[in-house]
Structure 1
Amino acid sequence: MGEFIDPERVLIVDDHSLVRDGLRSIFDDVFPACIILEADSLQTALQALDAEGEVDLVLLDLNIPDVSYLSGLEALRSRFPATPVVMVSGMTDRNVVRDALAAGAAGFVPKSLKRAAIVDALQQVLSGEIYMPDLPGHERQAAEEDLIRARIDTLTPQQRVVLGHLVAGLLNKQVAYELNVSMTTVKAHVSAILQKMDVFSRTQAVIMANKIGFRG
């Protein structure tokens, strides 16, 4: 796990005040210095972020009145790409989890989780990891594989070729030779691959690609 930093400002978006109160109480207990902003719709959430500036974390309910499925997540990711958004939902269907993570959610937290598990999930997200709920073993693996495929699908054809060479164990200079391009071009492709796959090293990218048997 990466270095964990206490959040300074968090936005809770849910149209049920009882749910907002429950999440607020968790932050009050675990992160007493954290400033909590609240919104009961996507519109008020965007207004709050425009007025108050970006926050360290957004907790977004999947079902709020002015949102259709993941449109709220997509709007927040588009307007505030540097702000991690955690989906909070009573549903833990694998397809919903997969779609949310593929659309850029930093985590998916079921409302049914116990308090300690919610704290653990939030700490994982704040340290830069993606939190996925405990689905049954085969479903969890399938959801992870779906997420990896969705990220690889964002690569350009040339980036997919480069990733295939990385999976095969080639060094940058060997990739440059194989593709008849400069080292600078290869490095640019590798950087783009890491960014799109949301990993920090080529080793992580290769491990991820190997999980779905990607060969280029």
Structure 2
Amino acid sequence: MIALIADDHPLFRVALSQACANILGSDALLLQAQNMQQLWPLLRAHPDTNFIFLDLKMPGSDGFTGLSALRTEYPDVPVIMVSAEEDPVIIKQALALGAAAYIPKSAPLELLAEAVEAVLKGDIWLPAELVADVSNAKTLIDDDFAGRLEQLTPQQFRVLKMIADGLLNKQIAYEMNVQETTIKQHVSAILRKLNVNNRTLAGILFEKLRLPESF
């Protein structure tokens, strides 16, 4: 059993790691990352990871972009969101974008066992007291866009992020170490899959993945 714990707070990572060791047993491999830059190499080294704990506001994650990137590149690895944020709108959006579970940091660690057991069975999990509020909440991103986003390849998702960041095709090609013609092909595919007419609109859609300043 392999679990990745991605959180920028060392004490919380240690607490999660200890709780997971109690749940999964001493043979489990528990890996830690303090930002998305550390998480990617761990995943590449351990593509058979059973699940990931991901802090919503971890450095490099930028709202829901980290979750969406993980779901695009590693769709078979369940992501359990952990966050101090308990707004039902945020929680519902995380689930709509593919999170397998959402654990508020205020929840007792005993609930981890329940969440992990459910996720390993392929179920979606929330603390019982949040189910009703989350069910009645609206989402920040419509389901149609969330579904179209899932059609992107990992390379196309990276290109889309850089489009949203304002990079030109030549700059994106440099960052990805590919020919500019390859980027143009990616952009055409992105516009088709997102059903938009230009890269500006595509970038605006991507910005919805970044949490508003009010959260």
Fold shared, TM-score > 0.5 on shorter chain? yes
Alignment of 1:137-148 (within 5 A): 138-143=132-137
In 2, distance between residues paired with 1:39 and 1:152?
29
Computing the radius of gyration over CA atoms, which structure comes out larger, 1 or 2? 1
Judge conservation of contact 1:57–1:85 (CA < 8 Å) in 2.
yes
In 2, distance between residues paired with 1:61 and 1:50?
19
Q: Secondary structure at the match of 2:82?
A: strand
Match of 1:20 in 2: 13
Change (3 A) 1:115 1:51: same
Change (3 A) 1:84 1:28: same
Change (3 A) 1:46 1:102: same
Match of 2:91 in 1: 97
Query: Normalization by structure 1: what TM-score?
Result: 0.61
Deviation at 1:90, TM superposition (A): 0.8
| Identity percentage of aligned residues | 32
Is 1:126 aligned to residue 115 of structure 2?
A: no
In 2, distance between residues paired with 1:153 and 1:41?
24
Judge conservation of contact 2:79–2:101 (CA < 8 Å) in 1.
yes
In 2, distance between residues paired with 1:44 and 1:51?
11
Match of 1:75 in 2: 69
In 2, distance between residues paired with 1:151 and 1:129?
22
How many residue pairs end up in the alignment? 146
Judge conservation of contact 2:2–2:30 (CA < 8 Å) in 1.
yes
Judge conservation of contact 1:58–1:86 (CA < 8 Å) in 2.
yes
**1:118-165 deviations in whole A, cap 9, x for unaligned?**
21111111111101234457514314x869x8389849xxxxxxxxxx
Which one of 5, 9, 26 corresponds to residue 2 of structure 2? Answer: 9
Gaps of 5+ in 1: 1-7, 156-216
Judge conservation of contact 2:92–2:135 (CA < 8 Å) in 1.
no
Match of 2:110 in 1: 116
Judge conservation of contact 1:55–1:83 (CA < 8 Å) in 2.
yes
Query: Normalization by structure 2: what TM-score?
Result: 0.62
Judge conservation of contact 1:40–1:64 (CA < 8 Å) in 2.
yes
